[in-house]
Amino acid sequence: MPMVPKQPFNDGRPYHGSEAVQNGRLTGTTDTDHFYFFCPRCDGRHIMRVMNYEVREERMGGTTYANEEPRSEWDFILALKLHCSKCTLTDFIKIGNLGWQGGELPQRD
């Protein structure tokens, strides 16, 4: 099967998660060890599709939290494009180890 070159994430356009996914509105869970995101607009636990990803940052570990042991092996941020097939919400989130890495997450209003 021929490899198709990966297109720029979000067609090269800027992106950022909307209010729909901020401040704890986006939740999810695992079944086995696979994580699923639940649509923040739909009732119940309607699973969102992960449409694409981008490696936003990637570098040798232990640079951001240099005084924390054990040090991370690799520092990274991934951006995910999520889509709900039920309500058509399309949104973005980021996950990685350069943000909060412990303690209590402060609640924002």
What residues make contact with Zn ion under the rule CB under 5 A? 39, 41-42, 84, 86-87, 89
Q: Decide whether 60 or 87 has the Cβ nearer to Zn ion.
A: 87
Cα 35 → chain centroid: 11
Least distance in Å: CB of 84 to Zn ion? 3
Closest to 92 measured CA to CA, from 65, 56, 66: 56
Q: Decide whether 55 or 87 has the Cβ nearer to Zn ion.
A: 87
> Buried b vs exposed e over 59-98: b needs ≥16 C-beta within 10 Å?
eeebebeeeeeeebeebeeebbbbebeeeebebbbbebbb
Least distance in Å: CB of 80 to Zn ion? 16
Least distance in Å: CB of 87 to Zn ion? 3
Q: Decide whether 49 or 59 has the Cβ nearer to Zn ion.
A: 49
